[in-house]
Amino acid sequence: MNHFDYRNGVLHAEDVPLTLIAEQVGTPVYVYSQATLERHFQVLNEALAGTDHLICFAMKANPSLGVVATLAAMGAGADVVSEGEARIAMAAGIPAERIVFSGVGKTEEELVFALESGIGQLNLESYEELLELSHLAQRMGKTARIALRVNPDIDAGTHAKITTGLKENKFGIDWTQAHTVYKQAMRLDGIEVVGVAVHIGSQLTDLQPFQDAFLRLRDLTLMLQADGIPIQRIDLGGGLGVPYEPGVNETPPLPSEYAKVVKSCVGDLGCKLVFEPGRLLVGNAGILLTKIVRLKEGAVKSFVVVDAGMNDLMRPALYDAYHDIVPVKEPKPGAAKRAVDVVGPICESSDVFAAGRLLPMLYKGELLAFGTAGAYGASMASEYNGRPLIPEVMVKGDRFAVTRARPTYDAMIAAQKLPDWMG
């Protein structure tokens, strides 16, 4: 469910016409619906009712301050993979004790920051990282609350570039070695073992991989507890998909169906359950609003050139990802469609948002909305081709606010400086 729909012939974000945002903020621009964010969190939270749980928003999906603050106000924690994400989470109102710090490449500086800040849980991904953290904690007179991220060697059945639970992936500790590493962790000073963690990938549309991974984690948890290792928390990660192209080989399970699997696999172990959803909460809560620069007739294709580029939304170029594309001005019922390539201005052949997409007749200057752009859109954007990062807007009812302004070219250039010898 989202809050983007046509009213009086114009696509709205909640009660705000997207034409108004385009007029006042310009394009391209990301637009987020606060009502959708709140609704998605509420649905997942209600599905998990009856369990002792904490929903930690995966910040990598969308670290926009307004987005994170909305979820923080509803009681969310944060799953972070860098000091920067942790600082944004805390600035948005998430206390350190509700933060899980994940990631395979935490630097010494980031581990020190986590210890100083009182981060609630550090998910460690190697024995080497465990030893380094123990050394730092002893030196600082701190105790690190840790879980080991276990790699269960489960095929998530998702895109190869977003699967994380196979033994050839860089993430986690092989599940067959985890018991040994936990025993070693129990002997280390500065380390408090609190949990076990898993995350097998992103955009999963089948519950079976979840069940396989959770049952493997259940067996490990019972084994560890039998050996006196105090597993109090089970971190089940995230990964539940969202519908980008409804009805086309992609109908993700409902949160309620996912919750049934969770409860049947680990609900009776007496542990606090931690979840790390990202896309599930924010994917359908955001759109990318863009304007048609020109229409171009090629030798064999028709092109719709827009002012958004792959630097603003990388997913189609990176993953061949699908995003629904609709005109902001509502097409007439039964309007004729034709196949076009929707492309951006970037000097790369991969700057294609859709190839051969059937769209109604379009015109220069017309606005288009790219759906399900709230996750891994703005967070993966860059200044490639000398293009400033695009603004972000939050909508609540009939109000909207710019939560990230579009930098001027002068501001973008001022972030750099010449070497001293160039004067």
Catalytic positions, please?
347
Peptide bond into 327 cis (omega under 30): no
Cβ proximity of 390 and 312 under 8 Å? yes
Tokens 């001293």 map to which residue?
A: 420
Measure the CA–CA gap between 4 and 1, rounded to whole angstroms. Answer: 9
Q: Which long-range contacts (CB under 8 A, 24 or more apart) does 78-85 make?
A: 79/238, 79/276, 79/278, 82/110, 83/109, 83/110, 83/113, 83/114, 85/59, 85/60
Measure the CA–CA gap between 405 and 167, rounded to whole angstroms. Answer: 42
CB atoms closer than 10 angstroms to residue 228: 8
- Select from 39, 86, 42 the least CA-distant residue to 60: 86
End-to-end CA distance of the chain: 56
Measure the CA–CA gap between 200 and 35, rounded to whole angstroms. Answer: 29
